Structure formats: C-alpha cells, structure tokens
Amino acid sequence: MKKIWIMCGFITVLLIQNSTVKSSEYLSYQSFYFVNSGHQLISQFSEYQYNQYYTRVNQKRFWGWHTYTVTKSQPVRFVKETLLMIENQGNTSIDQTYYFKTTQQLKQQISASGNINIGAEGSVYEFDLGLKKALDFSAKFDLSSTIEEHNEIRIKVDPMTRLIVKVYGEGNITNGVGKHYRFFIENRRGGWEIFTLTTEYYSIVKERLDGYES
C-alpha cells in the first residue's frame, strides 16, 4: 500500500533573540547567516560588546545623532521558508503539479535595540528622531515595487524519496550603534540594523529517505 506524507504551507522557525530588539521579518527566517565569519546581528551583541561600541561614539553633539558603524554591507544568505515537502514511502512514483503564489514587497527591513524606536510613516518603517539621515551610507528606506509571482511546478517523486521546495535568498546587513543628544546631553542610545534584500529564489531538492541523494 502506498504511503504518502505531504506537508505544505509556510513553516517559520522563530530565532531566539534579545528581548530588547525591535525586529523585522528577516530575524524569523528559518536560517540567516553571514557569508563571511566575524560578523553579528545586533540581536547577537553582548552587553560587553554594546559598551565597547558605545565608547566609539565619543563625540558629543549639540543636537542629533552620533553613530558608529560596526558592520557595513556584509553579504548574508538565508532560507526564508519551506513551501512544500513530500515523502513517497510507496513503490510507485508520484506525479503532481503544484502552484505557488508569492508576493515580495519589502526590499529593506530595519531593526533596533535600546532606546532607539521604530515607527511607521504610512507603509514605510523608519527609525525615530531622524536617525536614517545621520547614517553615512546609501541605503534607501522605502518599499520596493510589489511583485506578484505565480509559479507552476511539475514534480515527480520516485519511490522512497523526499522532495523539498524552499525559498532561499541573499542580501546584505549594515548595523551599528548610536547616541542621540539634546543640548550636548545624551538622551537616547541603542543599536540599529538594516537588512537589504538583493534576491530570492526557489530551491527544489530530492533526496532518498535513507539520507542519500537520489
């Protein structure tokens, strides 16, 4: 008797993070990592690291932000979600067609920690108190054009194999810390982070149920 296990939909694994971080969607992707070692997200900064980075913000201002960039435009890769997983434990092949509809809107996402807050201006999320204007790089904090894709995937799952469809992607991270001053008196401090999406794509993997690729 043919036994088929099918699991489809969206599977999201929440990452454990510092409770002080006001986060965006990218922190809840199934996996998210830097291409080059030695870099961290602000949710991974220790209290000691924060204090060390704050010492780099050593110039007071009459009014406004003074910032220090820890990580600048470092490439990252991620697994966003699992769309479909089929296990064929029977003796005959499975031939099916699946349709996926995906909508991509946010090209850039932001996170913050400490006393730095995130607010919405219409459909756009911004750091408060004009922090984005103080950051010395060319990122734009706007929504990209909405792109809706309809995808048809025809698949064949051989006996004793598993087929998995996932959404992978790439982007870059820029982050750091900042202090806000009023009349030369510090009144805000915290971490800031910007994730810029560069590409997303599907990956279809077929593997044997005993762990060896078919």
pLDDT (tens digit per residue) in 6-28: 333 322 222 222 335 666 789 88
pLDDT over 70, % of the chain: 76
Residue 31 clears pLDDT 50, i.e. is over it: yes
pLDDT (tens digit per residue) in 66-85: 999 999 999 999 999 998 89
Cα atoms in the Cβ-side hemisphere of radius 13 Å centred on 9: 4
Q: In a 10 Å sphere around its CB, with 0-12 CB exposed, 13-18 middle and 19+ buried, how is residue 34 labelled?
A: middle
Q: Which amino acid is at 113?
A: S
Domain ranges of the chain: 4-208
* 73 vs 96, higher pLDDT: 73
